[in-house]
Amino acid sequence: MVTREDVENIALLSKLFVPEEELDGLTASMQEIIDFADAINNAPVSDEGFDNINNLSNVFREDEVVPSYPASEILKNAPEQAEDHFLVRNRE
């Protein structure tokens, strides 16, 4: 059972605001999706497990210095910047 409090809590974890007037609608919609997802609880218990596709394993490499992008290039997409840094927010 998905409650309004669940949705508020998940929204906080997701860093999303849900306006008060949308809360009931969203709770109902989440409940509907969770009911649909609950179908998996009727599935037989599996002992297959899953690690990853194609049985990949970690590949270690030497820690070598390679060229990267200049800060000026990366900062081009920043909505706001100050003194060659990302500006998170203005000082209050």
Partner 1 sequence: MGSIAKIHEMLQSKQVSCTELTKSYLEEIEKANGELNAYVCVTPDEALQTAAAVDKKIAAGEEIGLLEGVPMALKDNMSTKGIDTTCCSKILSGYKPIYDATVWEILKAQNAVMLGKTNMDEFAMGSSCENSCFGGAMNPFNTCHVAGGSSGGAASAVGGNIAAYGLGSDTGGSIRQPASFCGVVGLKPTYGAVSRYGLIAYASSLDQIGPITKSVEDASLVFDAIAKQDKRDSTSLGAVGGTTYDKLNNDIKGMKIGIAREYLDGVRDDVKEAVLAAAKVYESLGAEIVYFDLPVLKFALPVYYIIACAEASSNLGRYDGIRYGYKTAHYTGTHDMICRTRSEGFGEEVKRRILLGTYVLSAGYYDAYYKKATDLRGTIIKAFNDAFTHCDVILAPTVPMTAFEKGHAVSDPVETYLTDICTVPVNIAGLPGVSVPCGFNADGMPIGMQLIGKSFGEATILNAAYQYQQAAPEQFKDTKWGVKL
CB of 65 to partner 1, least distance (A): 16
Question: Which amino acid does the sequence have at 16?
Answer: L
Q: Is 65 in the site for partner 1 (CB under 8 A)?
A: no
Per-residue contact flags (x/-) with partner 1 for residues 3 to 42, judged by CB under 8 A: ---xx-xxx-xxxxxx-------x--xx-xxx-xxxxxx-
Neighbour-count burial of 2, counting CB atoms closer than 10 A to its CB (0-12 exposed, 13-18 middle, 19+ buried): middle
Task: Choose which of 21, 49, 65, 83 interacts with partner 1 (CB under 8 A).
Answer: 49
Q: Is 76 in the site for partner 1 (CB under 8 A)?
A: yes
Alpha-carbon distance 89 to 92, whole Å? 9
Task: Choose which of 1, 59, 60, 62 interacts with partner 1 (CB under 8 A).
Answer: 59
Say how many Å lie between the first and final Cα of the chain, rounded: 42
CB of 63 to partner 1, least distance (A): 15
* In contact, 30 and 7? CB cutoff 8 Å: yes
Alpha-carbon distance 48 to 60, whole Å? 27
Q: Is 67 in the site for partner 1 (CB under 8 A)?
A: no
